[in-house]
C-alpha cells in the first residue's frame, strides 16, 4: 500500500526559502531548481516504506516518532502515521543549524 505525503506549511516555506537562498543570494537559479527537485523526489520516495529512516534522537521528538534523512546538506523531518498511511513532512532544514532549537 502506498503512503500519502503531506507537507506542513513550514515545510512548504522551507522549500521556498532554500530555493530563494540558492537562486537569489548565491545567484544559482539552475542549482536552486535542481536542489529543490532532488529534495522533493526523495520525499516522494517515502510513499513506499517510510520507516526505513531512523528516528530523531532528541526528546520529545523520538517518542513522537519523528524521523529524518538527509538530501545533500539538508535534513528532511517527517512523521509517519501507520493508522492512516500518511507521511507528514514537518520541516526541511540546512544540516548546519541548531536542530533542537529549530524543531
Instruction: Kindly report the CATH number that applies to the domain delimited by 4-102.
Output: 3.30.2310.20
Q: Which residue has the higher pLDDT, 39 or 101?
A: 39
> How far apart are the C-alpha atoms of 54 and 51, rounded to whole Å?
7
Model pLDDT, residue 60? 87
Cell of 12: 512548504
Model pLDDT, residue 98? 62
Angle of helix 29-44 relative to helix 9-20, nearest 10 degrees, comes to 150
Q: What is the pLDDT of residues 12-55, one digit of tens each?
A: 999 999 999 999 999 999 999 999 999 999 999 999 999 999 99
Model pLDDT, residue 90? 96
| Number of separate helices (H) and strands (E) present in the chain | 4, 4
Name 92's bridge partners.
76
pTM of the model: 0.90
Q: Can you give the C-alpha Rg of the chain in angstroms?
A: 14
Amino acid at each position: 500500500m502506498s503512503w500519502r505525503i503531506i507537507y506542513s506549511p513550514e515545510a512548504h516555506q522551507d522549500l521556498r526559502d532554500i530555493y530563494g537562498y540558492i537562486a537569489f543570494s548565491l545567484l544559482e537559479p539552475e542549482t536552486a531548481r535542481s536542489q529543490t527537485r532532488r529534495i522533493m523526489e526523495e520525499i516522494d520516495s517515502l510513499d513506499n516504506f517510510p520507516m526505513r529512516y531512523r528516528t530523531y534522537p532528541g526528546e520529545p521528538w523520538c517518542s513522537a516518532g519523528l524521523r529524518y534523512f538527509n538530501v545533500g546538506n539538508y535534513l528532511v523531518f517527517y512523521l509517519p502515521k501507520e493508522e492512516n498511511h500518511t507521511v507528514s513532512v514537518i520541516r526541511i532544514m540546512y544540516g548546519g543549524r541548531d536542530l533542537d532549537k529549530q524543531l
